[in-house]
Structure 1
Amino acid sequence: MSQNGTVARPPSVAVSVLGPVLGLIKAARPRQWLKNVLVLAAPMAAGVLGDPRSLLAALLVFAAFCLAASGTYLLNDASDVAADRLHPRKRTRAVASGAVSVRLARVTGVALMLLAPAVAALTGDWRSPAVVAGYLVLTLSYTLWLKHQEVVELIAVAACHVVRAFAGAVAVDVPVTGWFLVVVSLAALQLVAGKREAELRAQGDGGTRATLAAYSPAYLAQVRVMCSGALIVTYCLWALNAHDGVFYALSIVPFLLLVLRHNLLVDRGMGEEPEELAVRDRPLLLFAVALVVFVGLGVQL
């Protein structure tokens, strides 16, 4: 009974269900599905996205990786709930805040991870669900063990990005060149090193992620700079020697600006959420669009 003497009504079923559903959507982190655009990298570079069947296959694998990634996020949040509740930003996450129970997060996470290979199988090629399954094994290994191993965890997270790019090539049945793998691998490692560097600076003494305590800002900056240099050289060699045409050569300019801009943002402490940088930082977005346009013109012309 309320203070004014009226009988308090229990919350409706709709409200009690809507809360966890919204929490699950938030915990699935749809904003981070942007990472899965890497699936389209190889099909775009091969110039096959204009074919309806290839486009459909690429989109199916993209959807599969979105499901797989969201399932992984839910399981990871359930695993890290105690540590996340001590983190100034992560404590607002759905699982850490209590909006979604640990059990519900685990059940939903497993369901999404089982659904992901099934969606990839709709491509009609057994290799696509196999690659998605390999990605799930890698992400589960990261959640359960690899994230606690310094240096190894950097490579593991970067490898997840490489698998995404490789899956796109498998989906449309185009060969994966060594140039492509090296560029994607170095770019992924630069992003991960920048993310850890920004996290370490934001949390000072290592915060709630125990692995961060094993790093120093100088070490992570060194890894990032090393990757940047190797990445620029590799891309330039690919653009100038692996292909003929002025547009590939012109693509070096926005690529260089993209790498340098990312390094600048990390130095400013803004690299903790690289997927948000790609959307919110206008120069970074402009350079990325210019890169896609030049490579696309090189492929078509």
Structure 2
Amino acid sequence: MRPKQWAKNALLALAPLAAGVLFQPTVLLEVVLGIIAFSLTSSGGYIVNDLLDIESDKLHPKKRFRPIPSGEFPARIAWPTAIVLLVAPAGIAAAFGFFTFAGVLIAYVIIQLSYCIWLKHQPVIDIIIVASGFVLRAVAGAAIVGVPITQWFILVISSGSLFMVAGKRYSEKVESVGKEQSHTRKTLNLYSLGYLRFVWTVAATLTMLSYGLWAFDLNGGTSIGSIISVFPFGTALLLYAYDIERGEASAPEDVVLKDVRLLVCGAIWAALFLLSVLARQYGWQVPNLS
């Protein structure tokens, strides 16, 4: 079920936070329940992926120790467990009236099953599909509490997700040089380091531009917090790009949690982002100096 991957589901809190409603008791409860639902659903996808790759994972130096390929979690139990995890959260959400959120979960399940069965073997498409998982998490957060999402939100999340996924593939490619037969990701042999560097560079540029446009969006109400937040955001982006270039970003969750500089930049950005949200909510705008 890969509990370490559940941290990704914190993305469900972004849209409610950006809308300034996250800390309302009812909204916070809905977001927490949404995170739990998405964690269970994604876990079902991880189990299916391991079941389909069980033979190749047995030959992998690291993946062979996972519960399914090692035999610790038998396939006869894993299959029904995966089905329940993939179906139950969306069904329960729909039963309680969260139809849009349930629809996002269903879309995620369909995409993940398509990825596990076929799309993960298609170059370029595999990167886009993995990145879409992050986008759907962010959209799910907006859906469960019923808040609108802006074009800037979608642009930053989409390009940022593509940046992380392409960077992950780049690092995996760097690690695989000279030992092409030791990994199970078939598409990795179809990518060149130059192409992957191009993708994550373009994605990083688009992420920074999109965030900057949001920060200086006069129609939305520019605040001191939103302007200053560009600096820790950009610094974190550059630090992560440095880890990618060194081939150390094959496990993004480990990079973020182990890099103190990234954590500090993230904390500063979060504080400034919250300040900017409050500023926009209460009309604290930067005066026009022109």
State TM-score, norm by structure 2: 0.91
Matched to 1:124, the amino acid is: G
Which of residues 235, 242, 250 in structure 2 aligns to 1:272? Answer: 250
Which of residues 9, 33, 36 in structure 2 aligns to 1:63? Answer: 36
Partner of 1:259: 237
For the 8 Å contact 1:194–1:220, the answer to whether it is kept is yes
Following TM superposition, by how much is the alpha carbon of 1:64 offset from its aligned partner in structure 2, in angstroms?
0.8
For the 8 Å contact 1:123–1:171, the answer to whether it is kept is no
Q: Does 1:89 align with 2:62?
A: yes
Percent of residue pairs bearing the same amino acid type:
38
Partner of 2:188: 212
Which blocks of at least 5 consecutive residues in structure 1 are unaligned?
1-27
CA deviations over 1:254-285 (Å, ceiling 9, x no partner): 11011111111112221111112221211111
Q: Does 1:281 align with 2:259?
A: yes
Partner of 1:131: 104
CA deviations over 1:59-86 (Å, ceiling 9, x no partner): 1111110001111101100111111122
Partner of 2:144: 171
Q: Does 1:232 align with 2:208?
A: yes
Q: Does 1:250 align with 2:228?
A: yes
Partner of 1:298: 276
Matched to 2:184, the amino acid is: T
Following TM superposition, by how much is the alpha carbon of 1:109 offset from its aligned partner in structure 2, in angstroms?
1.1
Q: Secondary structure at the match of 2:216?
A: helix
The whole-number CA distance in structure 2 between the counterparts of 1:123 and 1:69 is 20
Deviates more, 1:194-203 or 1:155-164: 194-203
Matched to 1:279, the amino acid is: L
The whole-number CA distance in structure 2 between the counterparts of 1:231 and 1:275 is 19
1:164-203 correspondence runs (5 A)? 164-203=137-176
Following TM superposition, by how much is the alpha carbon of 1:103 offset from its aligned partner in structure 2, in angstroms?
2.5
Following TM superposition, by how much is the alpha carbon of 1:96 offset from its aligned partner in structure 2, in angstroms?
1.4
The whole-number CA distance in structure 2 between the counterparts of 1:89 and 1:281 is 23
The whole-number CA distance in structure 2 between the counterparts of 1:105 and 1:266 is 34
Mark the CA change 1:177 to 1:59 in structure 2 (over 3 Å): closer, same or farther: same
The whole-number CA distance in structure 2 between the counterparts of 1:122 and 1:198 is 42
Matched to 2:266, the amino acid is: A
Q: Does 1:222 align with 2:198?
A: yes
Partner of 1:142: 115
Following TM superposition, by how much is the alpha carbon of 1:200 offset from its aligned partner in structure 2, in angstroms?
1.4
Following TM superposition, by how much is the alpha carbon of 1:102 offset from its aligned partner in structure 2, in angstroms?
2.1
CA deviations over 1:222-249 (Å, ceiling 9, x no partner): 1011111111111111101243210000
Q: Secondary structure at the match of 1:49?
A: coil
State TM-score, norm by structure 1: 0.88
For the 8 Å contact 1:235–1:252, the answer to whether it is kept is yes
Deviates more, 1:38-47 or 1:204-213: 204-213
Q: Secondary structure at the match of 1:50?
A: coil
Partner of 2:18: 45
Q: Secondary structure at the match of 1:211?
A: helix
Mark the CA change 1:143 to 1:235 in structure 2 (over 3 Å): closer, same or farther: same
The whole-number CA distance in structure 2 between the counterparts of 1:112 and 1:81 is 19
Partner of 2:76: 103
Following TM superposition, by how much is the alpha carbon of 1:177 offset from its aligned partner in structure 2, in angstroms?
0.9
